[in-house]
Amino acid sequence: MISNGHSIEHVQLPGDPQRAQLVAALAKEAENEDNIAPFSEEFLKGLKDARLGHEHFIVEDSSTVVGCGAIHGDSAEMFIAPQYRGKGLGSALYAALVAANPAVQVWAHGNLAPAQAIAAAHGLKVVRRLLVMEVSGEALVAAAQADKAPLPAANLRESTKKWGRQVVEEQWLKANNEAFSWHPEQGGWDLERLHRAMEAPWFDPEDVLFLWDEGPQLAGFHWTKWHRESSPAFGEVYVIGLADSYRGKKLGGPLLTLGLHHLVDKGAHKVILYVEADNAPAVKIYERLGFEIAEQHCVWARGD
């Protein structure tokens, strides 16, 4: 597809490592300009990992990469380099995504002005809103001491040593898929998906915390993430979930506290988390613990 000297090419970037690297570098430039990454962690992985099955749309100007869109299922992410915005390229890239998949829904990380302009031009509406909340300083220290866990806690390394890898991973998957049966990204995991997530360069088995009942039965887990790429480093409530049979037993608070305490002990002065904006009960709990909204990410889709 060629328009006004610019081209949009449909490719799968894992098969083109050189351009995949160019897109990753361009995404970093956009992040530095906008103070927010245009691609999520999963879509960045998709630039190089063919197992994810992402499709890519490269925008070029005189053979120079100036933007990229990616589709996985009905979900997409896209960006145009800051110096090339305002030329209609974002709108053309969105049109290419829709031509490939008419049901596509596009993430707008930070919901910045360029994304809102494209949405307005195409009559899109917000169908999902994800909040980034954070807590820091004295409020974080207090939150890390809020609730004591009524069940024994152990990290992934300790749990595997005691119960064996197969038992731990089977119960971890079961709890995850029960807790996130409704979730488009976190639900329906299998062992291959879990192992792929554990390949992340930041993954540390000591940052995955479990609450165990007799049996052993996994009551819940709190997978924390340490952002060592930042200075100073900070923590994240990455994934937290309870098994079905342990819901309604007031374990959510202690499970959250368990992870916060771990991150504070690790040296965190700030902790973030992601939560769906329409999950009002969870948002209220986090607000009571001192979390405040720092960012929002929206999914835009056609209204027809």
Average pLDDT over residues 249-261: 94
Residue-wise DSSP of 254-267: HHHHHHHHHHHHTT
Name residue 78's beta-bridge partners: 69
Q: What is the pTM of this model?
A: 0.89
**Which pLDDT score is estimated for 149?**
87
Q: How far apart are CA 200 and CA 41, in angstroms?
A: 10
Annotated binding site: 41, 185, 225, 236, 240-242, 274, 279-284
> Structural domains in the chain?
2-122 (3.40.630.30), 132-295 (3.40.630.30)
Annotated binding site for acetyl-CoA: 240-242, 279-284
pLDDT at 2 over 60: no
* Contact between 267 and 233 (Cβ < 8 Å): yes
Average pLDDT over residues 261-276: 97
CA–chain centroid gap for 158, Å, is 26
**Which pLDDT score is estimated for 184?**
82
Q: In the numeric block, which tokens belong to residue 155? A: 């990290």
pLDDT at 189 over 80: yes
pLDDT at 134 over 90: yes
pLDDT at 183 over 60: yes
Confidence band for 96, pLDDT divided at 50, 70 and 90: very high
**Which pLDDT score is estimated for 3?**
57
Report the C-alpha dihedral over residues 276, 281, 284, 286, rounded to 10 degrees: -60
If one counts every other C-beta atom within 10 angstroms of the C-beta of residue 147, the result is 19
